Structure 1
């Protein structure tokens, strides 16, 4: 990603890498061990909604043209 950032910097193109923690999605499919893990995380309040991740991405997009946010890690507060 860093090489792309350097290559396109003169064109004001920004790149941001997003590292989400546990998000309430269906990406894990119907595999029992993933479902059990997710249900445990949900019981502990350790998952965030896709909308939460979208809000963080919107924040990065809303930065002034001169600013670039290279990486974002967003995860539930209670995720261990």
Structure 2
């Protein structure tokens, strides 16, 4: 249930901000918004303070056939 709420919030953010193909975004606290933006053809640089959560987001991106060229930890 919480995952659906997070995905709904991410969808709202992508739509509200007008994020679309050709844009470049920085996602801080990587998660569903980065994946939704990537699906829309957006170049995403993802940052997460927790290597474990970053690795989880990276794995989910790979499952959805998105490349993960940028690896950033803070």
Could you state the TM-score of these two structures normalised by the residue count of structure 2? 0.26
Between Structure 1 and Structure 2, which shows a larger proportion of strand residues?
2
Larger-Rg structure? 1
Report which structure shows greater RCO (CA 8 Å, sep ≥6): 1
Structure with the higher helix share, 1 or 2: 2
